[in-house]
Amino acid sequence: MRVRVLGHRTRVLAAAAMAGALALSGCGANEDQNSNNDKSEVEVFSWWTGPGEADGLKAMQADFEKKNPGTKFTNAAIAGGSGTQAKAVLASRLQNNKPPDSFQGHAGAELIDYIKAGQIEPLDDFYDENGLKSVYPKQLLDQITYKGHIYSVPVNIHRSNVLWYNPKILKDAGLDGPPKSIPEFIDALKAVKDKTDKVPLSLGAQWTADHLLENVLLGSLGTDAYNALWEPGADWNTPAVTKALNEFGEIMKYTTLEAASTDWQGAAKAVVDGKAAFNIMGDWAYGYFVGDAPNGLGKKLGEDFDWAPAPGTEGTYMWLSDSFTLPKNAPHRGGALAWLKEVSSKEGQDLFNPKKGSIPARTDADKKLYTGYLKSALDEWTNPNTKLAGSFWHGVTANNKWHTDIDTAVGLFLQNRDVSKLQQGLVNAAKNSGQ
Amino acid sequence: MKTEDEKTTGRLRRSRTWLPGLLLISPSIIAIGLFVYGLIFWNTRVALSGKHDEVSEYGFDKGKNFVDLWDQPSWPGAVENALLFTVVFVGGALLLGAFLAFLMDKGIRGEAAFRTIYLFPMAVSFIATGVVWRWLMNPAPPERAVGLNQLFDKLSLDALANNWWQNQDWGMAAMALPAIWQMSGYVMALYLAGFRGVPEDLREAARVDGASEWQVYRYVVFPQLRPVTLSALIILGHISLKVFDLIMAIAGKQIITYVPAVAAYVEIFDRHDPANGATIATYMLVAVAVLVIPYLVWSVRTERTR
């Protein structure tokens, strides 16, 4: 026994010593390079390693290398959905003052921690020099402006408020079409439950309930009231929010029992497989539905599934966006600026987005490249009458603390199903966010 | 009177006895000092600071974090979950391990093969175990059932089907099942070594005195195994209090299976609150220390009396 314990300890020690040696050897490199406007290299940090997104990045890289022959491109992508792992690595690199030249982040409030810590630079001059303020929608620029400055360059747009549904199940339940308001939605869920043996609304792990919550809030409160919730000092303790949360609680009664065991893919797949009637998920689900195996399901829009704006959100685009930043003390600032230029260019965005399955953030994109669902998404995005709302769950309107605290409140609600506690949790989350 | 030369050689000779030993272990001492105790010190320092985001200064807030943490809505649940998990996991693995060792000790045919089979899960990482058990413990109703529930359904054992770790009250007990599966083989190996360490003459003597086989174990073998049980308890206990990878693989960062290690991860990497994360880490260290230090004291003492 004792021998075993000792053996264990030796092994731990060896590992620690090894880690130490690695850390020491890592410290020597890269010191004292005064490399402002160094264009020889660019290290681009992202979490685009999955099918589609990695291809899109590669296409943009090829275009970048053609335009900047003297710049060596290093792809520092780290795998892991929505960047959980990548963000942990990034945090330690930024704290050690060893930033990549440019890193991916959701545009909006998710970047506030980096901004407050002085880790990324404002890009107002960059926007002016490249005439970007006229090619991005004004509402978008307003919503990513923090204290008068813009800190990131959006490359794509995804839509959060999409209701995916199975037309056959809707027919079986005697419904004419997708519900247009939250009360209609609740009636439709009830009809599915009463008249079919299918799941009314499929749901995945806890975060998909957060995603559902933002859609119910938007659908119930309306766009302006939803956007106002994220302003400094906003009041979450209103009867309107209570009503929305009650509706959220009601909707949650029609969800899958095994939700916590599945991620969004499982929940979305239930709709196209004819096991569930509805699912509310962002439009990245579209690429998953229509893509070819093994990464996609090879289903057909209009037959196996269809979509509508989430109930009560017609005419509003609840957006989220991947964007790139300029870290302070970027070792190759010149390379980084050249990369940002690529990312903000029409060609770059038109190369990236059809592959990734999203639409360009710019309004002057080449519409011919976008077909199927993406065509209608782009039409709506570029329509001047469309209102924009920022997705809180996907980093637009809430900073990291607020975001996590809402997630905690929703997680507790999934357990106790107590709407008043949920509201109190949301009030506290807004108060403590420090945003 | 000795000359200077003789003194030096004497010192040299004496140093020859301790110097090589010191040189041999000094890398370990330095590494442990830096990477274990140095980091423990730093962690405690952050826990006592007011650094609740990247920007603010460290400062010193007199342990306020340790009190305030209990007002965090997710924290009390995380502690309850960890306790329930620990009780079920440690108890289950000890009982199952002891039982398997007891069966083996009877000298069954193909013992080596069984031993390997039972020990094998230990070679698997908690992450891999988690991925499989995530599927096995899916609570879907019969028409969509997979994993264990589907098996029960097929065998008409519907009564056994349940919602596993998604049960509001006892979910963490289900979460302990994969951990028991994984570690009971190890406990078995410990006990088996313990059983084999009990001299055959002692058992013979008991049998001669008319003890039944059960009584031999009850009064002769088991009392000799207290050190083994204690070691197993410590090893399982500290694994259990620090459990992270298994939970992350099965449930991810969902409130329903929150434990302190997951909470620390969320505080540091999601909420960007280093002080709270360090506070949780300190609590975990204290919890493990409460378990391990008495054991160390006890084992040093028994060593001396021997």
- ipTM, two decimals, is 0.85
CB contact under 8 A, A408 and B73: yes
Nearest to A415 among B138, B163, B256 (CB): B256
**CATH class of the domain defined by A41-157+320-390:** alpha beta
d(CA A200, CA A190): 8
Cβ distance B281 to B62 under 8 Å? no
Examine residue B4 and state whether it is found in any structural domain, yes or no: no
Examine residue B277 and state whether it is found in any structural domain, yes or no: no
The residue length of chain A stands at 435
Give the model confidence (pLDDT) of A11-38 as tens digits.
544 444 444 444 444 443 343 344 478 8
User: Is some CB atom of chain A closer than 8 A to the CB atom of B276?
Assistant: no
Examine residue B270 and state whether it is found in any structural domain, yes or no: no
Identify the bridge partners of residue A165 per DSSP, sorted by sequence position: A278, A306
CB contact under 8 A, B28 and A401: no
Give the model confidence (pLDDT) of A130-165 as tens digits.
999 999 999 999 999 999 999 999 999 999 999 999
The pLDDT mean for chain B works out to: 89
**CATH class of the domain defined by A162-318+393-432:** alpha beta
Delimit the domains of chain A by residue range. Answer: 41-157+320-390, 162-318+393-432
Q: How many CB pairs under 8 A join A and B?
A: 103
Q: Which residues on chain A place their C-beta less than 8 Å from a C-beta of chain B? A: 1, 5, 13, 16-17, 19-20, 84, 87-88, 91, 95, 113, 116-119, 197, 205-206, 256-258, 260-261, 275, 400-401, 403-405, 407-409, 411-412, 414-415, 425, 434
Contacts of A205 in chain B (CB under 8 A): 251-252, 254
Cβ distance A397 to A142 under 8 Å? no
Cβ distance B140 to B152 under 8 Å? no
d(CA B98, CA B93): 8
Contacts of B73 in chain A (CB under 8 A): 408-409, 412, 425
User: Is some CB atom of chain A closer than 8 A to the CB atom of B254?
Assistant: yes
A8 pLDDT more than 70: no
The DSSP code for A260 is: G
Average pLDDT for residues A306-313, to the nearest whole number?
Answer: 96
Cβ distance B139 to B149 under 8 Å? yes
What is the pLDDT at residue B1? 55
Residue with the larger pLDDT of the pair B125 and B296: B125
A270 pLDDT more than 70: yes
A172 pLDDT more than 90: yes
**Which chain B residue is nearest to residue A416, measuring alpha carbons?**
B168
Confidence of residue B169 (pLDDT cuts 50, 70, 90): confident
Examine residue B171 and state whether it is found in any structural domain, yes or no: yes
- Domain extent at residue B116: 75-257
What is the pLDDT at residue A211? 96
Average pLDDT for residues A260-278, to the nearest whole number?
Answer: 92
Nearest to A400 among B55, B251, B271 (CB): B271
The alpha-carbon gap from B122 to the nearest alpha carbon of chain A, in Å, equals: 14
What is the value of pTM for the model shown?
0.87
d(CA A380, CA A140): 14
Looking at the structure of chain B, the number of domains it has is: 1
Confidence of residue B3 (pLDDT cuts 50, 70, 90): low
Contacts of A434 in chain B (CB under 8 A): 53
Examine residue B70 and state whether it is found in any structural domain, yes or no: no
What is the pLDDT at residue B109? 84
What is the pLDDT at residue A156? 95
CB atoms inside a 10 Å sphere around CB B39: 12
What is the pLDDT at residue B306? 62
Nearest to A332 by CA among A70, A79, A81, A78: A70
Contacts of A255 in chain B (CB under 8 A): none
Query: CATH number, domain at B191?
Result: 1.10.3720.10
